[in-house]
Amino acid sequence: MASHSHPHICQCLSRLLSFRRHSPVTIAGHRHKTGQQLVEEVLSLAQGLLQLGLTPGDVVAISAYNSEWYLEWLLAIAFVGGIAAPLNYRWSFEEARFAITAVRPVMLVTDESCYTWYSKLQQYDIPSLKWHVFLDSPSKGFTKGNVLTPEIVKKHSVKLLPFDYSWAHEGSVIICFTSGTTGKPKGVTLSHGALIIQSLAKIAMVGYSEDDVYLHTAPLCHIGGLSSAMTMLMVGGCHVLMPKFDAGSAVGATEQYNVTSFITVPAIMANLISIIRHKETWKGGETVNKILNGGGSLSLELIKDTRMFFHRAKLISAYGMTETCSSLTFLTLYDPMHETTSRPLQTFSVAGSNLIHQPQGICVGKAAPHIELKISAGVSGNTGRILTRGPHTMLRYWDQALTNPLNLDNEAWLDTGDIGSIDCNGNLWLLGRTNGRIKSGGENIYPEEVEAILIEHPGIASVVIVGIPDAGLTEMVVACIQLKENWQWLEKSASNEELHLSRKNLQQYCVEKNLTRFKMPKMFIIWRKPFPLTTTGKIRRDQIRKEVMSQLQSLHSNL
């Protein structure tokens, strides 16, 4: 058991009582709560959990839409030494059952959001599960068995003090699941210390403060949304919560509540811009002053639009992952306080060019103050696997005794699974994922590198690069592209007419941008529907690859 000298995420409760006792801390629709009200709810829930019999180390799974209740449950579970396991309500039944089997919760907290898989889950016996709590009035499908409500849990009077919290073994507090771009989601065990130090990094690098009105655009079951929520609880800012992301609602909430900050991924930013562009008046650009982007690089066009519609906002991009409790590095793309901010570094693709002293790939900025990074040998030159160590790294995957990705040469280092390099100024350059690379003609090709070049073409709205099996090359590079409005694809044309694209002129474009010839796409496929994404907006590259192969097989069988 830890002592009071150890970090605990409920240390934020004292600050909320001191700084925000009578000020709004959460806004969720018509429900507004002050700091004192939020703390009282957390303590009341914690008392109820103790009375039920929850003990330090017990796992409580939560699957619900974003709300202030979600935040209260996360803090109450941590308060009594429990470990919260946020589940994704958008999972399939198989994914949900896999996750629940892995973490063996004693309690499951849900709302209507996960109805599709919870209704099936009731048919299975889960030996560990003692209690089910429903956050709202249960509908018929949720009435089977012993279903509690928060009011039943909180029926005991508040007797706890804000600092009478407990710890689980090793300081574990959250099991956060990876977004599962390939394979099944993995439960990442994070400590109080990791969450707090990540919060401090975001405060230092982004500049969050108690004056912030933060709009939750990401689900609380993902590390981006979770770590940013924790940061805002620590500084004592105000949370604006909507059940799930909707661009129209987000734009409306930004204007209504004078939102100052939010986090985004490229898909979310594109949706917001498309709504704002068609508004007669837009007031949110005057209040938003901090935007943190993750989950992929913003295109030059999106950066330009963001600067136009959020002209007072400092735009920062972050690189990280669930296993490192969110962000490892930060890169300022635009700062209105420094109008001379140069062209964003991450849009430079220097692979194969004459700039031999420049690293390859996409620049993702410098490490946060507490982060150690190094590059392992083994790829070529100064490029290798990106390793990190420090209090930000996960304790382990939940159902494993030791973390698999630890580097065997020095077990303190966590292997991120990414390939990159670090330049003489300390900037990290990301080349790609080890599990996403394409092996073609004996050479390694990273999809992100090719995408960074093609996305800058004026006729391309979006692009995903995949490798498909090829008898001669092992794998062939294929570009799946979405065209911008008014642009046309001509299969056999070598024409350089405006608004026309073809395989030939796109390959010529790659030559002009100094992309090495073996990395050029051999095939281009026009993608006429949205690319499949995870719930955090990451591209499902494996799914796209399967669809491409299926299309080609179908084409060959019809010849």
Domain ranges of the chain: 9-191, 245-389+403-435, 438-557
Topology agreement, domain 245-389+403-435 and domain 438-557:
no
Average pLDDT over residues 518-537: 86
Distance (Å) of CA 86 to CA 51, 91, 240, 434, 491: 23, 12, 20, 27, 47
For 556, the 3-state DSSP assignment is helix
pLDDT at position 185, please? Answer: 80
Specify the pTM.
0.83
Q: At what angle do helices 35-52 and 68-79 cross, to 10 degrees?
A: 50
Looking at domain 9-191, its CATH architecture is 3-Layer(aba) Sandwich (3.40)
Give the pair of three-digit tokens for residue 389: 């160590």
Q: Which run of H or of E encompasses 134?
A: strand 131-134
Q: Beta strands of 20-117 (E only): which ranges?
A: 24-28, 31-34, 59-63, 83-86, 107-110
Q: Which residue type does 356 have?
A: I
Q: Beta strands of 394-534 (E only): which ranges?
A: 396-397, 414-422, 427-433, 438-440, 443-445, 460-470, 474-483, 488-489, 500-501, 523-526
Q: Of the spans 271-275, 426-430, 445-449, which averages the highest pLDDT?
A: 271-275
Q: What's the rounded Cα separation, in Å, for the pair 197 and 226?
A: 14
Q: Are strands 443-445 and 460-470 parallel, antiparallel or unpaired?
A: unpaired
Distance (Å) of CA 464 to CA 475, 478, 521: 16, 8, 11
Q: What's the rounded Cα separation, in Å, for the pair 434 and 361?
A: 14
Domain 245-389+403-435 CATH class label: alpha beta
Task: Evaluate if residue 558 carries a pLDDT over 80.
Answer: no
Q: What is the pLDDT of residues 282-339, one digit of tens each?
A: 999 999 999 999 877 787 888 999 999 999 999 999 999 999 999 999 999 999 988 6
Q: At what angle do helices 12-19 and 35-52 cross, to 10 degrees?
A: 150
Q: What is the pLDDT of residues 386-422, one digit of tens each?
A: 999 999 999 999 977 544 444 445 568 999 988 889 9
For 238, the 3-state DSSP assignment is strand
Task: Evaluate if residue 342 carries a pLDDT over 60.
Answer: no
pLDDT category, 464, cuts 50, 70, 90?
Answer: very high
Q: Which run of H or of E encompasses 230?
A: helix 223-235
Q: What single-letter DSSP state applies at residue 499? A: T
pLDDT at position 557, please? Answer: 61
Domain 438-557 CATH class label: alpha beta
Q: Are 210 and 235 in contact (CB under 8 A)?
A: yes
